[in-house]
Amino acid sequence: MPWQELPLPAELQDKNVIPHRLAVNQFGDLYLVDNENYWLVLIPGDGSAPRFSGGWGDEGERFSQVTDIVAAPGLDVILSDNATHRLLRFDRRLNFVDDLTLNSSRRHSPLEFPHSISKNRWGEVVIASSAESELYSLSARAEIVTVIGDVSYGQDRLMDVSDIAVSASGEIAVVDRGTALLSVFSREGNQLYAVLIDGQDSPEVNSWRGNWLLTEQSGKCWIVTAKSKHPEPVLQQAKKEREIAVADVDILGDSIYIIDESSGKILTARLKHLE
């Protein structure tokens, strides 16, 4: 799968946008987060002019350290700001909507240090915190629906979550550095299976064709299915391809988008069937 550079509009070059996080929605709109210049950028899929939001701060559309961004499914965009303990919600055009604040008698304080977020087609948002091991699944009204991987899970509890993803069916995949496992849970929080991934270095996880795609920092990819329960390599890039350092990943259809940390460029490729 040869990587190709995605040309960025001149407006981004003029503002010296440095991408650190990215997300793409079902319309092909690309969203970029610049944590150095505090930009949130929309590159519309229809080819119209980019839109900008953000700025440094802790209120409204301003942020300090975005650790994740999710733009699909649905029409809203959610950022996790680890430094200010906020979940910022924007509409598709980057108009700030509100803070996604937890609304539940089970917790009386905001979730601290949100690290990774994902969203299912019912509008529920799954949050991982860098301060806690368990996950929280929130309804569209920000009420806690499920707590996943806490002490009640016993030997199956989560230890050190690095990334999460949600499939179209609502299943939740969790990369856990503490156990070197990819654990898959149902929407209700029941553990379905776990896969040893100690051969990969804290990969990012995405849902692809109803399965799970693991992307290593080098750009190598593996797929995990409920049937195989074992990482199988996706066709790798040719030996002469450029060396990359993956900073963030998202998938639209069979297209994978990454930020190459070493160059700051957006690269894309077509995912292929297994060898």
Lowest-confidence region among 1-15, 100-114, 117-131, 183-197: 100-114
- Check whether 235 has a pLDDT greater than 60: no
Name every residue whose Cβ is closer than 8 Å to that of residue 172 and which is 6 or more positions away in sequence: 118, 126, 135, 137, 148, 164, 165, 166, 184, 185, 186, 187
* Residue at 43 is within a domain: yes
Number of C-beta neighbours around residue 161 at 10 A: 24
Structural domain of 57: 4-270
- Check whether 236 has a pLDDT greater than 60: no
Q: What pLDDT score was predicted for residue 61?
A: 97
Number of domains in the chain: 1
* Residue at 68 is within a domain: yes
Greater model confidence, 228 or 50: 50
CATH number at residue 19: 2.120.10.30
* Residue at 83 is within a domain: yes
* Residue at 275 is within a domain: no
Condensed to tens digits (0 to 9), the pLDDT of residues 133-179 reads: 999 988 877 788 889 999 999 999 999 999 999 998 999 999 999 99
Burial of 114 (0-12, 13-18, 19+ CB in 10 A): buried
